[in-house]
Chain A
Amino acid sequence: MSLSIDDVNRIAHLARIRVSGDEAVQYQGQLNGIFDLIAQMQAVDTAGVAPMAHARDLFQRLRADVVTEPNRREAFQSVAPQVADGLYLVPKVIE
């Protein structure tokens, strides 16, 4: 399989990473090299094998429904790029 420039641009946009025309060409070559490495997987017959999403087959532990977290807005917003009146600011969101 082989990624086209359109594929590269599509995934770059999905991942919200700006890619210039030259970079897209470079990524195309590198990503195709990596996909060649990955391609050997496809030859393996995995019919009936249960996918393994976690390192251990265990079940989720549940937390008691209790409020434990204090307000730490000041500390958290001290590292924020842009805030006003306790809100994080971003360019206008258009719906």
Chain B
Amino acid sequence: MQWETVIGLEVHTQLTTQSKIFSGASTAFGAEPNTQACQVDIALPGVLPVLNKGAVERAIRFGLAIGARLNRINVFDRKNYFYPDLPKGYQISQFTLPIVEGGALTIQVGDEEKTVRITRAHLEEDAGKSLHEDFHGLTGIDLNRAGTPLLEIVSEPDMRSAKEAVAYAKALHTLVTWIGTCDGNLQEGSFRCDANVSVRRPGGPLGTRREIKNLNSFRFLEQAIDYEIRWQIGEIEDGRAIQQATVLFDPDSGETRMMRTKEDAHDYRYFPDPDLLPVKLEEDWIERVRASLPELPQARQTRYRTEFGLSAYDAATLTSSRTLSDYFETVTAALPKADAKLAANWVMGELSAALNRAEIDIATSPIGANRLARLLGRLQDGTLSGKLAKQVFEAMWTEGGEPDAIIEAQGLKQMSDSGEVERIIDTVLAANQKSVEEFRAGKDKAFNALVGQVMKATKGKANPAQVNDLLRAKLAG
């Protein structure tokens, strides 16, 4: 029997401000506990919130990037509940009138393109952290994170598989880091996903959803959703109805487990925060932010396909991060002869492989884009063969240095003197009379053997195309 999965994501993105959303305390990660929790963050009696312009600006930026509607007047509400890492006993968030509504994100799943609609994105403050170890059965509360600005991005339930959910999460991750609203650091919790998952008969009414909380890696997101889908189908097929609930994913067991059911869901008593006035977005501010937006990944993908003739897959890969895309563009622009395909192949091939092996980000690549372009230039002008170029790349990676210097020092220059190549060919032909006869008898394989011998004799420095041409001429003559 067929089942259809329905998934919506709520993603909490920490905004890249210097200070907190409602106080002047630092948002830097990793400080000693409670040293970045000021009187506002720890909610001393009498303190008041004042909204950080940088947080609002980042929300505008995101809204513009997804083609959303920006609510020119938006409102902060209080979400009331008790928890030790929530110092005021309420979280300041946007409930009825969020800053961003609507918009969409295009995702690539395999060869297919799909649009995921965004319901809304609202500004809110993060809570502190509860630490459960080392205190003899007590919990320690660190409020450094309390008040860190978040933009919570809520999607429509438009995804139909864990793969699609991951593709959406990755596309969103690309976008928010691309436009600089979030640093995207998953380990530090800058980008956290909650997944609402339900299953139904295709075309049937929506099933009851369960929400998987706090997934901070794309792998866990996929595993958790896949487990949850199997679990829900199993329950229904065994005749048990799904209860609305909030669950947590345990990476060790690969399973989700219940946190709370709808019955003990909170009554948050939302109401407009009387300490904060409605926020008004002036048109000229919005236009200034719009003007400061970089070319977005979707626009670049289209350009790479139409202008550069790259495949959809290559275009998507090269725009998976702004640093990668910018690197590729720099290489392409610096090539002596326009050849985006060559640049794409090297960036996604040799360079990516080397970066992966070394586990470093392209932003800190030991080979800069312009240096790579100078290497590829030597390929384009015939100084290097593909094989030699890879050798030079290896040397540049491990020892550094300019490609020309390496070529010179290691004598890796491709033989361009046809006289010398001809002499070597003559020697090879003389020493391999058997192959020559076989070739003349119609055996094409024999030709390849002769090419191989010539290349070996030149230590790979001959241009294979040139060897080919000269050899054919000799054999024909």
B248 near A95: Cβ-Cβ < 8 Å: yes
Is A20 among interface residues, defined by CB-CB distance under 8 A?
Answer: no
Cross-chain contact B50 with A63 (CB below 8 angstroms) = yes
A69 vs B83: C-alpha distance when bound (angstroms) = 25
List A contacts of B23 (CB < 8 A).
Answer: 69
Instruction: Tell me which of B35, B52, B83 contacts A73 (CB under 8 A).
Output: B35
Query: Cβ of A66: which chain B residues have Cβ within 8 Å of it?
Result: 18-19, 24
Q: Chain A 62-94, CB within 8 Å of chain B: the 1/0 string?
A: 111111110111001100001011111111110
Is A67 touching B39 in the complex (CB atoms < 8 A)? Answer: no
Known contacts A14-B269, A66-B19; A61/B24 CB under 8 A: no
Are B52 and A63 in touch, CB under 8 angstroms? yes
Residues from chain A with Cβ under 8 Å of B18 in the complex: 65-67
B10 contacts partner chain A, Cβ-Cβ < 8 Å: no
A54 contacts B138, C-beta separation under 8 Å: no
Q: Does A16 contact B (CB under 8 A)?
A: yes
Contact B26 A93 (CB under 8 A): no
CB contact between B137 and one of A54, A63, A92 (< 8 Å): that residue: A92
- Contact A60-B17, Cβ < 8 Å, known A53-B272, A88-B141: no
Closest B residue by C-beta to A53: B272
How far, in angstroms, from A93 to B63 measured CA to CA in the complex?
36
Q: CB-defined interface of B51-86 with A at 8 Å, one 1/0 digit per residue?
A: 111111000000000000000010010000011100
CA distance A92 to B130 in the complex (A): 9
**B185-193, B273-281, B311-319: which lies at the interface:** B273-281
Distance between B230 CB and nearest chain A CB, rounded to angstroms: 24
Contacts of B152 in A (CB 8 A): none
Is the beta-carbon distance between B142 and A87 smaller than 8 angstroms? yes
- Chain B residues lying within 8 Å of A95, measured Cβ to Cβ, are 248, 259
Q: Is the CB of B131 within 8 A of A59?
A: no
Least CB distance, A58 to chain B, in whole angstroms? 5
* B32 proximal to A (CB < 8 A): yes
Instruction: Please determine whether A93 and B84 come into contact, CB atoms closer than 8 angstroms.
Output: yes
* A65 adjacent to B274 (CB under 8 Å): no
Give B76's nearest chain A residue, CB to CB: A60
Specify which chain A residues have a CB less than 8 angstroms from the CB of B37 in the assembled complex: 73, 76
Q: Judging by beta carbons under 8 Å apart, are B35 and A63 in contact?
A: no
Tell which of A16, A54, A62 touches B51, judged by Cβ atoms closer than 8 Å.
Answer: A62
Beta-carbon contact of B53 and A65 below 8 Å:
yes
Check if B35 sits within 8 Å of A91, measured CB to CB: no
B25 at the interface (CB under 8 A from A): yes
> Could you tell me how many residues of chain B have their Cβ less than 8 Å away from some Cβ of chain A?
52
Q: How far is the CA of A72 from the CA of B37 in the complex (A)?
A: 8
A60 nearest CB across to chain B (Å) = 4
User: How far, in angstroms, from A64 to B254 measured CA to CA in the complex?
Assistant: 44
| Residues of chain B in range 15-44 having any CB-CB distance to chain A below 8 Å | 17-19, 23-26, 32-40, 42, 44
Q: Which residues of A sit under 8 angstroms from B137, Cβ to Cβ?
A: 91-92
> Whole-angstrom distance between the alpha carbons of A91 and B277 in the complex?
36
Which of the listed residues A62, A66, A88 has the most CB atoms from chain B within 10 Å of its own CB?
Answer: A88
Are the C-beta atoms of A84 and B50 separated by less than 8 Å? no
- Complex interface: chain A residues within 8 A of B135 (CB): 84, 87, 89
Alpha-carbon distance between A61 and B49 when the two chains are bound, in angstroms:
11
Q: Is there a chain A Cβ closer than 8 Å to B140's Cβ?
A: yes
Cβ contacts under 8 Å, A72 to chain B: 38-39
A59 touches B279 (CB 8 A): yes
How distant is the Cα of A91 from the Cα of B137 in the complex, in angstroms? Answer: 7
Q: How far is the CB of B410 from the nearest CB of chain A, in Å?
A: 51
CA distance A37 to B56 in the complex (A): 42
B33 and A85 contacting across the interface, CB-CB below 8 Å: yes
Question: Least Cβ distance of A41 to chain B in Å?
Answer: 17
Q: Which of A33-59 contact B (CB under 8 A)?
A: 53-54, 58-59
CA distance A68 to B279 in the complex (A): 23
Structural contact, B278 and A59, CB atoms closer than 8 A? yes
Query: Are A67 and B55 in contact (CB-based, < 8 A)?
Result: no
Q: Which residues of B contact A89 (CB under 8 A)?
A: 135, 138-141
A residues less than 8 Å from B36 (CB atoms): 71
B138 engages A65 (CB within 8 Å): no
Q: Does B132 contact A (CB under 8 A)?
A: yes
Q: Please give, as numbers and ranges, the residues of chain A lying within 8 Å of B259 by CB-CB distance.
A: 95
By the criterion CB–CB under 8 Å, are B277 and A54 in contact?
yes
| A62 in contact with B35 (CB, 8 Å) | no
Pick the contact of B139: A53, A58, A61, A90 (CB < 8 A).
A90
Besides the known contacts A60-B278, A64-B53, A71-B35, 5 further A-B residue pairs in the complex with CB atoms under 8 A apart: A63-B52, A67-B26, A69-B40, A88-B143, A89-B139
- What are 7 inter-chain pairs, A to B, with CB distance below 8 A? A63-B24, A64-B54, A66-B19, A84-B140, A87-B131, A88-B84, A92-B138
